[in-house]
Structure 1
């Protein structure tokens, strides 16, 4: 997972899905103490969900053993590339057994992600979520606009857009839950509910 928010979300979803199996799941990410994560790994887990940075730290310190891994799932591979994590991901994959199942999910397939898939996957199948004839065009009845703004001005820009006449219903997407909560709080403070 490229971010701690996504790792936590996926781990919670796995815990909910695995309630009948009693699967032991460890969530491993930076920004929190090593000890509870190391303790969880030492007790033994079936599933590790984590961010590349902390996983590579624990792997190099020999707290994370990858020798019995049967499945590797890379979610948001393009995002991990953008964040500079691909070398860490490749180091982690190289530490797993050669015989394993590998799943790679990515919104886009830039060259380095394709190269990694070819290196670490056997007969990979590329499944596209979109119609192959779709050239990425927006539906004709949707109007798209781009506003460039400094990160400190984004909420102000969003607030001004929300004040526009005839705006209609609006969905705001953010990269993380934390950012979504912050934007929502600031918009409520500005009188939007």
Structure 2
């Protein structure tokens, strides 16, 4: 998988135009069809950067980073101003993201293959969530059938995620697109809420 993507002739650089359609061309066909449902739209990445550029950002982590679209494009539009980590528990998606990172030599981006519910990455200033618990719900447009889906499992995972967020230090920001799986977040206040073209975007702060 890694060698396959490193052989690709396409390039990505700071300042170059990017659209969702261009991005899809970097991916295997089976993941291109999931693009409208699973990977953060470029317009949302740009909106997130417009917010972050006015923030004191020391680091950003994407919980459930998939093929790396959010992390890599945020690094590109921000001109690599801060470290970005993506955590993904599907090995193939992790490999795609890490291969693209290596190909484009994005040194401030890092991808890890792991489960953030089991080993939560504490200590980051900003967290990004594109409804990372979606795959435990019985919903359409799933990535694959590798994960168990049930209401009980979803509720359990949601509580685990809320507990992790509650253990973050005061001032930590959570940026959500289509939510984090729930509608309330104990220990946090809502700073911003916008209806973007493709869905709801919010910023929460640990208080």
Same fold? TM cut 0.5 = no
Could you state the TM-score of these two structures normalised by the residue count of structure 2? 0.27
Could you state the TM-score of these two structures normalised by the residue count of structure 1? 0.29
Q: If you compute each CA radius of gyration, which structure gives the higher value, 1 or 2? A: 1
Structure with greater strand share of residues: 2
